[in-house]
Structure 1
Amino acid sequence: MKRTIVIGNISLDHIHRPGHQPVHQLGGAALHLAVAAARTGLPVAPGAAVGSDLARLPDDPRLPALDWTLLHHAPEPSAAFTIHYDDTDTVTAVDTAYGAAEHLTDHALHLIDRYPHAAFHVSCRHPLHVPAVLSTLAARGCSYSLDFHLPSAPHLIPAAAPWLRQAATIFVNAEEHALLTLTAGPRPGPEVVISDGPRPARVVLNGRALPPVTPPALPTVRQITGAGDTLAGTYLAHRARGLPAPAALTRAVQAASRHTAHMPLTLPAPRRAPS
């Protein structure tokens, strides 16, 4: 399997849910997606920009073996996101300090230039300059997939529109899918994976909707952030291994559900014991 380079943010997340104490944890789409893909056997390298506050990520024993060689170490603090949810576990507000992530676009373009034969996954989030990255991937003939995040999707889905149909797979939630079809029509790309929290997920493959997959009911939900990224990373890994889309989706939905039942990667992080 090709190594997949995940372009996106790795961050310090501060999670606020009604009736719960705030949680401070490791986060970012690039981290959650890469971890899920690695646990499913895909060779994966996060292509993110971090500060010295996350310089010891490779020493965290809670994370699987990842290729950390493509991190960009910036002088600014790592990106920090304060994410607010409502009683239905829907994101209501995101407060952001981008910090090191301001270097992400330049770093992504460097990685595309250096590794044009890798597969890429692009988490389309601010502050990434999505048109610059996607146009370069398309011009170089790179294989790439995409995902979006609802707070920025109304701006970044139209920004990505000229390059959507060249993406191998697009991951969206139900609300983002409505924006996607409004922007690019009913067939925005060859493979679209649509998640909807605890409700059924589905794949639209070459314009044909496959049977939906319902997540298993769980007695306890310990975290929400990163579930969609876990689904995407698991799905990409299984598809890279040759599984058909229905089987890949079933396993991806199960992995996302397991993710919500696990404790988040709270801070401070433990260090890996010396070998």
Structure 2
Amino acid sequence: MQRTIVFGNISLDHIHRPGHPPIHQLGGAALHLAVAAARTGLPTAPAAAIGSDLAHLPDDPRLPPLDWTLLHHAPQPSARFTIHYDEAGTITAVDTAYGAAEHLTAHALHLIDRYPQAAFHVSCRHPLHIRAALSALASRGCTFSLDFHLPSAPQLIPAAAPWLRHATTVFVNTEEHALLTLTAGPQPCPEVVISDGPRPARIVCNGRALPPVTPPALPTVRQITGAGDTLAGTYLAHRAHGIPPATALTHAVQAASHHTAHTPLTLPAPRRAPS
């Protein structure tokens, strides 16, 4: 099966939610999405720029087997995000220190040149230069999908607009979908997957809205960060296996819901026992 290369951040996150103690955890869209895809059987290589503070990632026993060979090791510390949520689970503020992630654009362009036959997923986040990355993918005829993140979506959806028609799938939440529709029309690419937290998710597939999928009700929510990335990674893996969009979305919604019930990847991380 074709390997999927995931461009995005892998980071050290501080999560603040009302009524919960702050959590220091592994994060970043590239990590969450690649983990979900790999757990669903898709050969996946996260392509992020990290510092020596995350050099232990391949030894973390909580992570599934991933292709770690496309990480770029930079001299700066890894990206760090402090994310604040309100009681509804909506992000209210993000404080950023990009650090090593400032090298991501150059690294992404190098990998597109080196592996043009791979499939790619682009997590459209700063500091990746979205115009440069998507232009390179489209000009080489690469297969790619992408997603957005609400705090930066007002800037990055317009930046991505000229290349959206080349994407196979775009993942957005309901607020991002409104921005996407305003910018690029109701059907910017063959598949638009729209999530809405604990509310039903849906797909607009080749201009046709498929039946929505309601997430299962879970008694405990232990984490919010990474749920949308888990949905995207699971969906892409099922689609790569030839599963139809509606069925793939059902599996993806279930995986995202179960992700919220699991304990976050808190730090410090354990190491694998010597073999």
- Please give the range of the TM-score, normalised by the shorter of the 2 chains: over 0.9
Specify the code of the residue in structure 2 equivalent to 1:13.
D
The aligned counterpart of 2:216 is 216
The aligned counterpart of 2:32 is 32
CA deviation map 1:42-75 (0-9, x unaligned): 0000000000000010000000000000000000
Counterpart-to-counterpart distance in 2, 1:45 and 1:20: 33
Counterpart-to-counterpart distance in 1, 2:3 and 2:60: 22
Specify the code of the residue in structure 2 equivalent to 1:274.
P
The aligned counterpart of 2:51 is 51
* Gap regions ≥5 residues in structure 2: none
The aligned counterpart of 1:167 is 167
User: Is 1:106 aligned to 2:128, yes or no?
Assistant: no
Shift of 1:78: 0.1
The aligned counterpart of 1:180 is 180
The aligned counterpart of 1:227 is 227
Counterpart-to-counterpart distance in 2, 1:197 and 1:24: 22
Structure 1 consecutive aligned stretches of length 4 or more whose deviation exceeds 4 Å? none
Specify the code of the residue in structure 2 equivalent to 1:84.
H
Shift of 1:187: 1.1
User: Is 1:247 aligned to 2:247, yes or no?
Assistant: yes
CA deviation map 1:59-118 (0-9, x unaligned): 000000000000000000000000000010100000000000000000000000000000
The aligned counterpart of 2:155 is 155
The aligned counterpart of 2:141 is 141
The aligned counterpart of 2:119 is 119
Determine helix, strand or coil for the equivalent of 1:229.
helix
The aligned counterpart of 2:12 is 12
Counterpart-to-counterpart distance in 2, 1:147 and 1:58: 25
The aligned counterpart of 1:263 is 263
Determine helix, strand or coil for the equivalent of 1:6.
strand
The aligned counterpart of 1:77 is 77
Counterpart-to-counterpart distance in 2, 1:187 and 1:44: 28
The aligned counterpart of 2:200 is 200
Determine helix, strand or coil for the equivalent of 1:157.
helix
The aligned counterpart of 1:61 is 61
Counterpart-to-counterpart distance in 2, 1:142 and 1:79: 27
CA deviation map 1:130-169 (0-9, x unaligned): 0000000000000000000000000000000000011000
Determine helix, strand or coil for the equivalent of 1:164.
helix
Q: How many residues align?
A: 275
Counterpart-to-counterpart distance in 1, 2:138 and 2:48: 20
Specify the code of the residue in structure 2 equivalent to 1:48.
A
Counterpart-to-counterpart distance in 1, 2:245 and 2:168: 12
Shift of 1:258: 0.5
Identity over aligned residues, as a percent?
Answer: 85
Determine helix, strand or coil for the equivalent of 2:232.
helix
Shift of 1:19: 1.1
Counterpart-to-counterpart distance in 2, 1:186 and 1:253: 22
Determine helix, strand or coil for the equivalent of 2:204.
strand
CA deviation map 1:214-247 (0-9, x unaligned): 0000000000000000000000000000000010
Determine helix, strand or coil for the equivalent of 2:26.
strand
Specify the code of the residue in structure 2 equivalent to 1:102.
E
Counterpart-to-counterpart distance in 2, 1:37 and 1:131: 25
Specify the code of the residue in structure 1 equivalent to 2:229.
D
* Gap regions ≥5 residues in structure 1: none
CA deviation map 1:161-198 (0-9, x unaligned): 00001100000000000000000011111100000000
CA deviation map 1:246-272 (0-9, x unaligned): 100000000000000000000000000
